[in-house]
Chains A and B, each alone.
Chain A
């Protein structure tokens, strides 16, 4: 069943077309990676899905509800972490997550249990009494995720959740996101392609506001790897896959025309001249 349906969404800021006629659906339980370079329109699209921005045209449905008509109900079903975690740094972790629970309508009787669960899931127990301003960036990111999942949303939207983290922190945040797939659908954007390969089942790629790729990760990589040297693929499987997705991304952001999801993906051997 579709948890998110985006139908012909466009967004203009004056003369600038930030998002251009984008349509896709996401099924329940998927982890979907959202790729695109800076300024491609990822954040604008995510902001429209979270009912923060109104689309110029098109419609968005979350769990069957139109966001323009049921904005409040829909926000109850969404957990959102913007690119910069929206934290009140003078609060302690516990105060902040409790505040998030209160404004997101978690029933007072359930709050204690829910707080304990989320703090444990996000590994924040040890720092729950610390003021947020004193925490490392990795912890701050986890606090941001904690506020996003405190009300048990059906759809979790994460805008570059691993941006600016060190490799250890990236692994921890990815593991945390991966653990969410049992309970909710996740849409996350990132620039770091090997990361998305580890957890995403499907890739959406956007360029200049247009959706240029919408495929499952397996199909996307299989299409590429089948065209490479089989021996190389066997011997250096993980490295080749990571490189392949990077190459696909790189190729589509080097001035090639937008393609539909049915357009064949160019192979790494074809793309290598782009590097």
Chain B
């Protein structure tokens, strides 16, 4: 566990020692704030349902920018050899990097928690639906990070890592848009595959086992595949 914590701390230090982390934090918050007030002004609703859906869409663009360097940079700089010849298992390396990104992401969405107090000032929002919305958006970000980590483990080129992430995330997000071309099992499969259909329930205050399992299974699958990807490269 100490080794995972050391890796997590190293990654966090790496984010915050460059301006990239601060730029992304500030840019995201500015963007979310503008969109939040626009939506409040337009809908006159004391809920955060719409902003959660906007955040989901924005994170498709933002998270690959954060995750693309996780492994690609290590490979390009030659430090991957340092990690892989140290007494670390691939799962330690994967978890150390994953937790660091998850902490950064949690910090980002926790700052938006102030939106609850703003809508509460103007009305009586349902705190449970807002809380479940935050659980949903956190799980969704956690899945996006796991996907970004996986694509970063495939290449030493950060641009390729980001583009591959975009391809997968857009496929997941927009799969629900293709349901009109299919019926039966295929239609149901596309609905279940889409992140939009799962986050919608959370945003409405409904937490179902199938939605939670969808995110957790996706996260575990991506982390396991990342570990295997590293292991494969280790023993090639």
Residues of A within 8 Å of B235, CB to CB, are 53-54
Q: Let me know if B3 and A52 touch, CB within 8 A.
A: no
Of A47, A50, A76, A88, most buried by chain B (CB within 10 Å of CB) is A88
Answer whether residue B124 sits at the interface, using C-beta atoms and an 8 A cutoff: no
* Binding stretch for chain A, among B34-42, B77-85, B175-183, B215-223: B77-85
Hey, what's the 0/1 contact readout for A116-139 against B, CB within 8 Å counting as 1? 000000000000000000000000
- How far apart are the CA atoms of A53 and B79 in the complex, in Å? 15
Q: Let me know if B2 and A88 touch, CB within 8 A.
A: no
Of B6, B17, B18, B83, most buried by chain A (CB within 10 Å of CB) is B6
Q: List which B76-111 residues lie within 8 A (CB) of chain A.
A: 77-79, 81-89
Total cross-chain contacts (CB, 8 A)? 69
Answer whether residue A99 sits at the interface, using C-beta atoms and an 8 A cutoff: yes
Q: Given the known A-B contacts A82-B81, A84-B78, are A104 and B86 also in contact in the complex, defined by CB atoms under 8 Å?
A: yes
Of B78, B85, B234, most buried by chain A (CB within 10 Å of CB) is B85
Q: Given the known A-B contacts A54-B235, A102-B3, are A78 and B85 also in contact in the complex, defined by CB atoms under 8 Å?
A: yes
Q: Closest A-chain residue to B80, C-beta based?
A: A86
List chain A positions with a Cβ less than 8 A from chain B: 47, 50-54, 72-73, 75-76, 78, 80, 82, 84, 86-88, 90-91, 95, 99-100, 102-105, 108, 147, 151
| Interchain residue pairs with CB less than 8 A apart (29) | A51-B234, A52-B81, A53-B234, A53-B235, A54-B235, A75-B86, A76-B87, A78-B85, A80-B81, A82-B78, A82-B81, A82-B82, A86-B77, A86-B81, A88-B10, A88-B14, A88-B79, A90-B17, A91-B10, A91-B17, A99-B10, A100-B86, A102-B2, A102-B3, A103-B3, A103-B6, A103-B87, A104-B87, A151-B87
